[in-house]
Structure formats: C-alpha cells, structure tokens
Structure 1
C-alpha cells in the first residue's frame, strides 16, 4: 500500500485515536473542540473521508460507529519526517537536527539522551 499522507487536521484526529485506541466521532469531536473551532458535522465528514482513505478503521456493528487508527504512529512519524528531511532540509538529517537543537528547546535531560543515542550510533 502506498503510504497515505494525512493532512494536518487528519493528524489531529489520528493523535486522538493513537492515545485512546478507539473512539466514536462524538468522543473525538469533544477533544478537538477544546483546541479549535470545529463543528460536529465537519469532524464526522473528516473521519468518513479518513475511513475512505484507509487511515482509520470503522466498526459499524453497533449503533454508534467506533473508529481506530489504521496506520501506526511510528510509521506515520517516520514517513512525515522522511518527507520533511527531503523537502525542507535538502535530504540532510544533520541539518534538521542542528536546526531543531539550535532553537534551544531541548531540556538538559533530552540533550543527555541525544548524546547517549549518538554515542550508541558511533559504536
């Protein structure tokens, strides 16, 4: 299957499904409206489109349809990161890392973890 490229809004819904495991449209919508102005019918339509695209599974056996992610968080993150490195950083993972760390957003614990990761890569 060719990897599906979720939109930003679809990623927000996937994040909810990855956290919850499964949810109804109403449950997803209640979480979405905490951070953005979106109507219930918009959430419903988006999840129907996501189902058609193969991003989510839908269990229609009960009156309330239950959705779950059909793509893993890890594979989606890897695919999006690969695209970003290729398109934004001209194929250089080092440029991505230097840019991210240059913004001083990493905590001391995260920097220590990165150093440990780099040490393991060198071995």
Structure 2
C-alpha cells in the first residue's frame, strides 16, 4: 500500500490490532473506551471503512467478525513520520529529534539505546 493515510481514529484502532493481532469490533471498542468516550456503532463504522480502504481484513466466517491489520506497523510509522518531518520540521530530522528529546524525558535506557544507534550510524 503506497499511500498509507489512516485518520487519527483509524490509527488508534490499528494500534490495538497491531498489539492484539486480531480482534472483534467489541474487543477493539472495549480498549478504546479506556481512553475516550466512543460509541460502539462509531467504532463499527470506522472499522467497516478501514476494511473498504484495505487497512484491515475481516473474517466473516463466524458470527462475530474478526479484524486484522493489513498494513504493517513499521511501514505505517515510517510513512507518517516522514510526512511529519517534511510538514512540521521542514525536512529536518535533527529538529525532530531535538524537539522530541527536549519535550519528553527519555529514560537512561532509552538514551543509551539512542547513543548506541547514533554510534552505529557514524561507523
């Protein structure tokens, strides 16, 4: 899928499906309710639209339809990050990283991982 353009709501659902592997609308809806007030029919409609867009597959062989993400988490993140770098940080990866590290507190473990990654890039 060349143009992965999930909406914010679709991305929330994809996150759940990436974590669970597969889920019914009810399963997804219950996770969404932990963080926001969402109607079941709204969740169902979004997932039906996602199926039409090819973002998820739907197994209708059982009474309860089971959905599975059809787009990879890594490719989706890479695509969205690339768009964000271009649109928000004027194409500068350095600005993105400095903003991310300046705004959020990274754990010592995360900082060590980042340093190791940067060292490997320099080699």
Q: Normalising by the residue count of structure 1, what TM-score does the alignment of the two structures yield?
A: 0.96
Task: Give the structure 1 partner of residue 60 of structure 2.
Answer: 60
Measure the CA separation in 1 of the matches of 2:106 and 2:59: 40
**Gap regions ≥5 residues in structure 2:** none
Pairs within 5 Å for 1:79-98: 79-98=79-98
Task: Give the structure 1 partner of residue 16 of structure 2.
Answer: 16
Structure 1 pair 37–121 and aligned structure 2 pair: CA distance change class (3 A): same
Measure the CA separation in 1 of the matches of 2:117 and 2:35: 34
Deviation of 1:58 after TM superposition, in Å, equals 0.4
Measure the CA separation in 1 of the matches of 2:115 and 2:70: 34
Measure the CA separation in 2 of the matches of 1:99 and 1:31: 30
Task: Give the structure 2 partner of residue 73 of structure 1.
Answer: 73
Measure the CA separation in 1 of the matches of 2:35 and 2:101: 27
Number of matched pairs: 123
Deviation of 1:104 after TM superposition, in Å, equals 4.4
Measure the CA separation in 2 of the matches of 1:34 and 1:41: 17
Task: Give the structure 1 partner of residue 25 of structure 2.
Answer: 25
**Gap regions ≥5 residues in structure 1:** none
Task: Give the structure 2 partner of residue 118 of structure 1.
Answer: 118
Q: CA RMSD in A?
A: 0.9
Runs (4+) of structure 1 moved beyond 6 Å? Answer: none
Deviation of 1:4 after TM superposition, in Å, equals 2.2
Q: Normalising by the residue count of structure 2, what TM-score does the alignment of the two structures yield?
A: 0.96
Instruction: Please give the secondary structure, in 1, of the residue aligned with 2:82.
Output: helix
Measure the CA separation in 1 of the matches of 2:66 and 2:103: 40
